[in-house]
C-alpha cells in the first residue's frame, strides 16, 4: 500500500513530495474499494441524501478521491489533516516524485528514539487494520464487516466521527489517547477485544491514525452529501473546489483541536471513604437539590432496569432471541407501550441501548476512576447518557465515582433505602 500527499514531508524528507502508493504485499493482497455511504445514492427518511442526483454523486466521489485517494491501497494524505509524520503512518510504501521519475520505496519502522530503522519495514495502519479490524468494521469503516451482523453491539461506524468513550468535552472528537485505549484495552462487555498482546504500541498508533483517516473521509463524505442535498443538480458550480476545501478543513480542524481539549479535573479524587460513598448514593437517588434521575435508567438497585427502558428480559429476547436479521420483526411484535419505549431509546447509529448494570463493575469505557469521571461529567457521545458537569461540581462527581465503584462490593448500599420517584420518560438518560 502507498500513501499520496500534496505536501512536503518532514523527518529527513524535506523537499520530497510524498505522493501515491500501492504495493504487492501479503497483508494487502486483493482488490478493495471504498463503499459509498448509503445516503449518497438512496433516499433516507429524515436524512440528507443525493438520491436522483447523479452529477452531484459523481462530484462527491471525485472530491473524496482527490482528498483521500482512489482506494484503500492508494492513500492520499490531505493537506492540513495533521497526521504524524505527514501521514507516513498510514501505509507501508510511499511514492516520491511524479510521472516517469517517480519511485516507490518502503516506509521504515521507527526505533524507540524516533529515527527510522532500516532493517524493518513499517506495516502501516491500513495493513494492520485490514488484518485485525476490517472483518468487523468494514473496508470503509462503516461497521459493516462480514462478522458485524452477528455481534452486539454492532461494531462502531467510524464515518460519523462520533466516539462514545472520550476524554474531551461532550460532542468533541476524541483525543487520540482515547482511541489508543479502546484498541489496546478493548471495550469490556462487548466484542471489541484488547489488542495489547497482538500489536506493539507503535502498531496500535498506526491503527489509530488509520481509524482517524476513515473517520475524516466519512465525515467529509457526509458533509458533502448534506451540502449537495440543498444544491441544484444542474448547477455547474455546486460542490466546487472552494466548498470541498472548506468542508474538509472544517473536519480536520475539529480533530486537531480535540487534541488539546482533554477534560482533566482540577480537583483531585476524593478519598473513597464511607462518607463520600454515601454522598454519591444521595446524588444517585436524586435526594440532593440537583435532583438527578439516575434510577430512571439504571434502576432503583442500579441493575440497569429503570422504568425508562423496556424490561431486561424483553431486551434480551429481541436482541439475542433469534436470527439478527429478523430482530425488527421481534420489535414489531411487542405491544404498543414496549415498542414506544424501544424506539425512543436508540443510539446515534440506530442501535438499541441498555443502561449499564452498575453492580457488575463492568464498564465498557474503562473502570479507572478517571474513566467514570469522564462518563459522568461529559456523558457518552451518541448515547443518552447526559453530561452532568457543571450541574455537578467536580467533588460531587468524584463522590458519584466512589459510589459506583463501591456498588460492586456492597450491593446493599441501595437495597436498604427507598428508591427515588420514577422520572418522566422524556427527561431520562441512559448509559451504554
pLDDT tens-place values along the chain, 432 residues long: 767 654 333 322 222 233 334 444 445 555 689 999 999 999 998 899 999 999 999 999 999 999 999 999 999 999 999 999 999 999 999 988 888 888 899 999 988 888 888 888 999 999 999 999 999 999 999 999 999 999 989 999 999 999 999 999 999 999 999 999 999 999 999 999 999 999 999 999 999 999 999 999 999 999 999 999 999 999 999 999 999 999 999 999 999 999 999 999 999 999 999 999 999 999 999 999 999 999 999 999 999 999 999 999 999 999 999 998 898 999 999 999 999 989 887 889 888 889 999 999 999 999 999 999 999 999 999 999 999 999 999 999 999 999 999 999 998 999 877 655 554 544 444 444
d(CA 186, CA 199): 13
- 3-state SS class at 161: coil
Nearest Cα residue to 178 out of 256, 258, 124? 258
CB 182 within 8 A of CB 190: no
CB 128 within 8 A of CB 206: yes
On the 0-12 / 13-18 / 19+ scale of CB atoms within 10 A, 106 is: middle
CA neighbours within 13 Å on the CB side: how many for 140?
20
d(CA 75, CA 62): 14
Residues ≥6 apart with Cβ < 8 Å to 100: none
**How many residues comprise the chain?**
432
CB 371 within 8 A of CB 365: yes
CB 298 within 8 A of CB 355: yes
What is the CB neighbour count within 10 angstroms for residue 15?
6
d(CA 220, CA 226): 10
Domain 274-309+355-427 is classified in which CATH homologous superfamily? Answer: Cytochrome c-like domain (1.10.760.10)
CA neighbours within 13 Å on the CB side: how many for 153?
21
Nearest Cα residue to 218 out of 264, 289, 292, 158? 158
- Considering only CA atoms, give the Rg of the chain: 24
Give one word for 323, left, alpha or beta, with left for phi > 0 and alpha for psi -120 to 50: beta
Please state whether beta strands 2-5 and 74-77 pair in parallel, antiparallel, or not at all (unpaired).
parallel
> Could you tell me the three cell numbers for 65?
478521491
Location of C-alpha cell 420518560: 425
Element spanning 224, H or E: helix 201-229
Q: What is the dihedral of CA 63, 64, 68, 69, to 10 degrees?
A: -90
d(CA 158, CA 286): 36
d(CA 258, CA 82): 12
Domain residue ranges in the chain: 2-258, 274-309+355-427
| Percent helix, strand and coil across the chain, each to the nearest 5 | 40, 10, 50
Residue 422: what pLDDT? 52
State the angle between helix axes of 394-407 and 274-284 in degrees (0 to 180), rounded to the nearest 10. Answer: 100
- 3-state SS class at 75: strand
Between the CA of residue 149 and those of 159, 208, 273, 296, what are the distances in Å? 18, 24, 45, 30
Amino acid at each position: 500500500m502507498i500513501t499520496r500527499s500534496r505536501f512536503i514531508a518532514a523527518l529527513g524528507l524535506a523537499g520530497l513530495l510524498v505522493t501515491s502508493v500501492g504495493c504487492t504485499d501479503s497483508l494487502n493482497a486483493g482488490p478493495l474499494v471504498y463503499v459509498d455511504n448509503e445516503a449518497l445514492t438512496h433516499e433516507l427518511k429524515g436524512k440528507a441524501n443525493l438520491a436522483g442526483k447523479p452529477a452531484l454523486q459523481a462530484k462527491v466521489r471525485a472530491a473524496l478521491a482527490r482528498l483521500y485517494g482512489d482506494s484503500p491501497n492508494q492513500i492520499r494524505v490531505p493537506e492540513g489533516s495533521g497526521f504524524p509524520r505527514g501521514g507516513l503512518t498510514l501505509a507501508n510504501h510511499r511514492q516520491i516524485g511524479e510521472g516517469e521519475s517517480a519511485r516507490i520505496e518502503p516506509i521504515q519502522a521507527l526505533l524507540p528514539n524516533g529515527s527510522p530503522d532500516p532493517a524493518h519495514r513499517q506495516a502501516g495502519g491500513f495493513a494492520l487494520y485490514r488484518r485485525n479490524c476490517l472483518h468487523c468494521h468494514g473496508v470503509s469503516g462503516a461497521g459493516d464487516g462480514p462478522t458485524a451482523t452477528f455481534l452486539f453491539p454492532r461494531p462502531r461506524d467510524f464515518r460519523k466521527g462520533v466516539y462514545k468513550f472520550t476524554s474531551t468535552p461532550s460532542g468533541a472528537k476524541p483525543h487520540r489517547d482515547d482511541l489508543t485505549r479502546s484498541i489496546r484495552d478493548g471495550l469490556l462487555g462487548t466484542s471489541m477485544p484488547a489488542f495489547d498482546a497482538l500489536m506493539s504500541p507503535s502498531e496500535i498508533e498506526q491503527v489509530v491514525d488509520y481509524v482517524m483517516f476513515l473517520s475524516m473521509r466519512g465525515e467529509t463524505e457526509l458533509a458533502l452529501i448534506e451540502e449537495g442535498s440543498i444544491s441544484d443538480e444542474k448547477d455547474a458550480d455546486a460542490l466546487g473546489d472552494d466548498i470541498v476545501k472548506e468542508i474538509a478543513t472544517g473536519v480536520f480542524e475539529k480533530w486537531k483541536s480535540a487534541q488539546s481539549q482533554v477534560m482533566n479535573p482540577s480537583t483531585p479524587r476524593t478519598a473513597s471513604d464511607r462518607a463520600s460513598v454515601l454522598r454519591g448514593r444521595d446524588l444517585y437517588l436524586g435526594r440532593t437539590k440537583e435532583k438527578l434521575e439516575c434510577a430512571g435508567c439504571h434502576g432503583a438497585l442500579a441493575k440497569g432496569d429503570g422504568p425508562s427502558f423496556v424490561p431486561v428480559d424483553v431486551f434480551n429476547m429481541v436482541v439475542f432471541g433469534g436470527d439478527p436479521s429478523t430482530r425488527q420483526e421481534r420489535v414489531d411484535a411487542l405491544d404498543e407501550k414496549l415498542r414506544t419505549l424501544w424506539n425512543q431509546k436508540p443510539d446515534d447509529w440506530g442501535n438499541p441501548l441498555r443502561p449499564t448494570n452498575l453492580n457488575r463493575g463492568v464498564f465498557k469505557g474503562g473502570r479507572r476512576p478517571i474513566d467514570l469521571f469522564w462518563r459522568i461529567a461529559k456523558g457518552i457521545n451518541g448515547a443518552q447518557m447526559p453530561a452532568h458537569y457543571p450541574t455537578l461540581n467536580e467533588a460531587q462527581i468524584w463522590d458519584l465515582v466512589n459510589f459506583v465503584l463501591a456498588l460492586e462490593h456492597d450491593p446493599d448500599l441501595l437495597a436498604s433505602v427507598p428508591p427515588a420517584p420514577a422520572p418522566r420518560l422524556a427527561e431520562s438518560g441512559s448509559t451504554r
